[in-house]
Structure 1
Amino acid sequence: MPQITVDYSPAADAGFDREGFARALHTAVVEIAAARPEACKTLFRAADASAYGYDQEGAHVIVHITFGLLAGRSEETKAKLTETTLDLLRDHLKSDGFVLHASAEVRDLDPSYRKYEG
């Protein structure tokens, strides 16, 4: 915990500083949601393709960031985390002529959540 997933359009690749974003995001999660630094894990998933309305691929970039956190964070904490995340994304994803559509959400992990490290 936290489990962080970043899904993004392939057109973002050239301008997306994923390493810098993950580092800044992990720092924010530690400060805002009281996570341990070594517990922060981020998975980046570039989509094979994306579509926005009727426009062509590449004219728009879609990024959605999902946090899975253990239950117990306040709604204010969750909102601050998603707002900070979108600010950090703007700092680490430079537009190459595309329109950015970004979103973030925090979900409470189900009580059945378990992890394995080995």
Structure 2
Amino acid sequence: MADLDAVRAEARQGSLLREGMKVVIAGRPNAGKSSLLNALAGREAAIVTDIAGTTRDVLREHIHIDGMPLHIIDTAGLRDANDEVERIGIERAWQEIAQADRVLFYGRWHHHRRR
């Protein structure tokens, strides 16, 4: 059984090296998520303002760091929202988080409890 687990681990690692790792940037509104995406992408891929809730949809950038392909995903800020469009964006953020290989959280996580 240990041999099978080792083969699976190697296959997973090979897949990540070929296809890339999905990294989701998540956190509270105005935490700097979109600014980080822009810095990693080397361009202004996301709109950045001081207005909470600017990012409402999922933004994707494909980059390479040290030869490793990364799928960087910027998401709406996690909070209780009254606006229907923003709520949809937040739900999509949670879906991306659930499917991510890695999640970079900005802010204090205990404030982001999902209901």
Tell me the TM-score normalised to structure 2 length: 0.29
* Higher-RCO chain (CA-CA 8 Å, sequence separation at least 6): 1
Instruction: Choose between structure 1 and 2: higher strand proportion.
Output: 1
Tell me the TM-score normalised to structure 1 length: 0.29
